[in-house]
Amino acid sequence: MIYFVATPIGNLKDITLRALETLRAADEIFCEDTRHTLKLLNAYDIKKPLVACHKFNESAAAEKIVRAARDGKEIAIVSDAGMPVISDPGNVVCARLKEEGLDYTVVPGANAFLSALVLSAFNAERFAFIGFLPDKQGERKQLLSRYKNCDLTLCFHVAPQDVDRHISSMYEVFGDRKACAVREITKLHEESLPFTLKEGLAGEKRGEYVIIVEGAGEEECPLNTLPAREHIKYYMDGGMDKMQAVKQAAKDRGVPKSELYPYSIDL
């Protein structure tokens, strides 16, 4: 059997009993960085053959996994932190296993962006995970533009060296919005820092970040900049009767009809 195993994102105690059982039972463990995974295995006295499976060799690693599975071996696949595939290697392997008709399963566990979403206190009823943004500015803005009018809370992974320029791109595309930068999740110096896209994130940038950005609000009606009387008159000139015009103007402004009616008396 093949297992995609979630590993801790910071605190090594954040590993499930099932994950430890799976790693102990595996014949081979395919991992993003053998040195990183070795630290986790040593912490739990697990000694297994490690095989590299990262973004530069994933296709070749997938073939090794297919052969190992055909030979009846128990295979565990991990990334450096969190769930494989999610902003980490593993997607190519999944696709190859599906092509070959080989079954695999997931051993769930720690996840950085879900933890950050909770720590941000932003609306978590509905959200969109975007992950890492493209390095090239044009491609980055093009991707962000797809989410400009999305009313869902947006979640991004951002490397420390990219924080300032990526927030700048968000501001250029989204305009000013509330945001939260979460870092060092589950570690001693865990931080959840609220800011706005316009002001940016102050201070030195260290560690991997999850940036949470509030979704788009309802777009303000341009007629709301008119005096209330002119707003009502605009709709009347367009063919509405007075009460229809008052009702529509009130809806535009998000106020009761009774608040606007006095402005319509002499129209």
User: Regarding beta strands 28-31 and 178-183, do their DSSP bridges make them parallel or antiparallel, or are they unpaired?
Assistant: unpaired
Mean pLDDT computed over every residue of the chain: 93
For 24-46, how does the pLDDT look when each residue is reduced to its tens digit (9 = 90+)?
A: 999 999 999 999 999 999 999 99
Whether the pLDDT of residue 220 is over 80: the answer is: no
Residue 219 pLDDT grade (very low, low, confident, very high; cuts 50, 70, 90): low
Six-digit token pair at 58?
A: 């994933």
CA distance 229 to 252: 13
- Mean pLDDT for 190-206 is 94
d(CA 131, CA 210): 9
pLDDT one-digit tens code per residue, 47-83: 999 999 999 999 999 999 999 999 999 999 999 999 9
pLDDT of residue 136: 95
Strand partners, 4: 77, 106
Q: pLDDT by residue (tens digit) across 199-212? A: 999 999 998 999 99
Structural domains in the chain, CATH included, are 2-110 (3.40.1010.10), 113-213 (3.30.950.10), 222-264 (no CATH)
3-state secondary structure of 30: strand
